[in-house]
Structure 1
Amino acid sequence: MVEPDSMSVVELYHVHVSSAENTQGVSARGTIKKKEQKKTLTHHLYFCMRDFGHHVGEDTEIYFSLYDSGKQKYLTERFLVKISKEGFSNYIEKLHSNCTVFTDLGNSDLNKDVYLVAHIMRIGKMLYSDSSKKTDKAVNQTQVFKRPHGVAVQNLGDYLTSKESDNEEKEFSMKVYQVEEKDFHQLHEFIIRQSGKFSALSTHINYGVIFSVKMLHGELRTIREENPLLFKNVSLTSKLGFPDVIMPGDVRNDLYLFLDKGEFERGGKSTGKNIEVTVVVLDSEKNVIKNCLWGASGMEGVSEYNSMIIYHHNSPAWAENVRLTLPIDKFAGAHVRLEYRHCSTREKSDKKLFGFSFLRLMDKDGAAVQDGQHELYIYKCEDTQKLENCGYLSLPAFAKDYEGNHEASGQFSRSHKEMISVKTLLCSTKLTQNVDLLALLRWKSHPERIQESLQRVLRLGDEELIKFLQDVLDALFALFSTEDGNSTAHSGLVFHVLVSIFNLLDGSKYQHFKPVMDAYIKNHFAAALVYK
């Protein structure tokens, strides 16, 4: 018999674990089951681009990502390989810049629908033709644009789900296809489903993109220690979302901004505009946050990110993903600004600003911007200097933005027929989008609300609790006892919350968190009363 009243929380946890393990060892008939082999929960895919069989004629950027065609969503952020106009073999910026490791793939990510997708961008003139090569030497090109060139896809399903993937490195070759620019964002889907209009890139040799992959299994830390040479100078490409196992001490603070599509007015032109979106992030002091934007892994962080340009099109779809990695203290009061410029085909013309949108990264309660789609208002502006003092922050960023004054009319007028759609995804072990969890973690600033916060934590979603397990436990144990080891007014309710968390960890979904809990008790834990 266990007497919970006379036992400490730590003892109770250990009893809980051992009894759960015992019950799992006995089947419904009462016979002892063989202990199952421990299932590997985390996998990583080592990727190396071997060759590129096209001569684009200008500098080229290839963005690689893993894509699940069943769910129609990207599993990872992008990885960039740059190629100079002289060709792939003449240009590897730094050793290994053509290799990466796609990290933290779960068992559900290794399925038959997984593809490697390569988006190939031409970096140079708005319009490129072979004849323009001859004049190139005479004119120093001032404006450089990112333009869509082609897409290649390769199904990795058989490799990822077969036994051979355990140790063999495998090489693939994929053909490059092109399409009308307005459909570039969905060309990978056209190729996978063999639908829509697209054609193979016309070239003498279309052996396309050659790459190799190799599966790695287990915890990344261990694999790195075992294969130091494999990881030398290799960038890591993160999963969009959390791995199945979050270990204590894992720190991540990434916000992904997915540039989806826009609707812009013609504005007196007979043809569509060539629209470039520039992304910048500003802090609470209205200063641009330097080097916090990544269009892909394998590149340096930049202070402003420029999108690709769809030629003469007022309803462009970009489908580009940008990672914002900010210091935690910069999030409060920060916002993203999207600036829209028309880029002329004429060599000497400057890019012309015609409007902007913005999105706050945190609400006034301190909860981070919610995941999902945001349809942002577009405000008219032709003068970059007008943006400098961020006078637009009193305005609403979108229809349901309650922090902006919807009645206000200032120096910026809203363009009612225009809008842009973006998506955001927060992957952070330090920031939460959940107000209830925030109230618990910040209990010191509102001691009068502690009881209410504890009640609400009992209703929190599993994933949010697990993600912040260490911070939640730290807060709970701080509320459980005073520094000299005496109980507090909240000890009873805290005990309830702790038991419900232990219960959660016992479910099959979170079984693999037991080592996390043990690691916490061993390395991070300190609360005198608990040992009494």
Structure 2
Amino acid sequence: KGPTKSTDKNVEVTMYVCDSRGEVMQNVISYGCVDPPTSEYKSMVYYHQDKPKWFETVKVAISTEVEFKGLHLKFLFRHKSSTEAKDRSEKPFAMSFVRMMNDNGTTLQDKTHELLVYKVESKKHDDAAMYLKLPCSKVELEQFGHSNHKQTSGLTLSTKDSFFVYSYVCSTKLTHNVDLLGLLKWHEVLDDTKALKTYLEHLMKEEGEEIVKFLQDLLDSLFNILMQHTNNELCDNLVFDALIYIIVLISDRKYHQFRPVLDAYIDSAFSFAIAYSKLMVILKDYVDKANDKFSQSESSLLPGIKSL
């Protein structure tokens, strides 16, 4: 284009799944249904585009036996040359990453994430996991709020650049819902009545999609809370209401295919025989208070009887 003009370089993004030590996990990335799993994903290269929009979909499949804490996606940006020899020598000029699990144990939210872009100085950057001490997204950067968190050995934050990714988590063991996670880890909050009350109340406002994914684990948690959380009528009643909420939810046509899961749980997995007596006491209390003018029992009584 002449001595005073320049063209935008071709950019290729390579994605890896890495553990807490920065090591690449092998064969967990899938390009599509028929392709075998691989350890990296390379994007399309758009000719002379300085702000490419890839809109590419990639699947990451990780076993539930793997330690999820510290897992993250790492994105390396390289200039793609039309000359093969030069292309092989190209080092990453920038990188981004995103953590797959938050500090509270929840997974990455199903939404678009604005990731930070760090310039890579190849002579100084040793590709160790030092970058995990840096904020990975604009949200984290605002939370860190300190200039000394903007660089580490060989990496410097590029304040003018951003990299956007959209994530969707599909799991029957991990959730991005903090209230649901609180119930699944019931033993950690058993003595915290306030937290239990909050988690139980929020459960009954949840959409069915998350509940049915964790159906058996949630039922186990509710019965454990009922049997081990003594001398608290409020929590007992909330557990009863939550059980009714789940049963009514499964009765809905939208989730009717999960009815066999509930039946199998009752027939095979349910191991809280003495829970019946406690549930009957709560039901009787609701029946006795049904005619009280200011009683809240009616809203639970009718669904409760229907669920019997």
Query: 2:91 corresponds to which letter in structure 1?
Result: K
Give yes or no for the alignment of 1:306 onto 2:49.
no
2:185 to 442, 446, 471: 442
Q: 8 Å contact 1:487–1:529 — kept in the other structure? A: no
Q: How does 1:125-164 map to 2 (within 5 A)?
A: none
Q: How does 1:300-339 map to 2 (within 5 A)?
A: 300-328=36-64, 329-339=66-76
1:499 aligns with 244
Which structure has the highest strand share of the two?
A: 1
1:348 aligns with 85
Task: Summarize deviations over 1:350-374 as a string: whole Å, max 9, x none.
Answer: 2331100110111110110001111
Give yes or no for the alignment of 1:467 onto 2:204.
no
Give yes or no for the alignment of 1:375 onto 2:114.
yes
Which secondary structure does the structure 2 equivalent of 1:278 belong to?
Answer: strand
Tell me the distance in 1 between the aligned counterparts of 2:145 and 2:73.
Answer: 18
2:151 aligns with 410
2:283 aligns with none
Tell me the distance in 2 between the aligned counterparts of 1:280 and 1:384.
Answer: 21
1:292 aligns with 28
| TM-score, normalised via structure 2 length | 0.77
Q: How does 1:22-61 map to 2 (within 5 A)?
A: none
Tell me the distance in 2 between the aligned counterparts of 1:463 and 1:278.
Answer: 33
2:272 aligns with 527
Tell me the distance in 1 between the aligned counterparts of 2:143 and 2:73.
Answer: 15
Which ranges in structure 2 are unaligned for 5 or more consecutive residues? 278-308
Which secondary structure does the structure 2 equivalent of 1:352 belong to?
Answer: coil
Give yes or no for the alignment of 1:360 onto 2:99.
yes
Inter-CA distance 387–437: structure 2 relative to 1 (3 Å threshold): farther
1:98 aligns with none
2:130 aligns with 391
- Aligned identity (percent) is 37
Q: 8 Å contact 1:481–1:528 — kept in the other structure? A: no
Task: Summarize deviations over 1:426-456 as a string: whole Å, max 9, x none.
Answer: 1111110100000000111222233332222
Give yes or no for the alignment of 1:425 onto 2:171.
no
Query: 1:501 corresponds to which letter in structure 2?
Result: I
Give yes or no for the alignment of 1:458 onto 2:204.
yes
Inter-CA distance 390–318: structure 2 relative to 1 (3 Å threshold): same
Which structure has the highest helix share of the two?
A: 2
Tell me the distance in 2 between the aligned counterparts of 1:495 and 1:384.
Answer: 62
Instruction: Indicate the larger mover: 338-347 or 288-297.
Output: 288-297
Q: 8 Å contact 1:393–1:404 — kept in the other structure? A: no
Tell me the distance in 2 between the aligned counterparts of 1:269 and 1:312.
Answer: 13
Which ranges in structure 1 are unaligned for 5 or more consecutive residues? 1-267
Which secondary structure does the structure 2 equivalent of 1:528 belong to?
Answer: coil
TM-aligned CA deviation for residue 387 of structure 1? 5.1
Tell me the distance in 2 between the aligned counterparts of 1:320 and 1:387.
Answer: 29
| TM-score, normalised via structure 1 length | 0.46
1:229 aligns with none
Q: 8 Å contact 1:457–1:497 — kept in the other structure? A: yes
Inter-CA distance 524–384: structure 2 relative to 1 (3 Å threshold): farther
Inter-CA distance 372–479: structure 2 relative to 1 (3 Å threshold): same
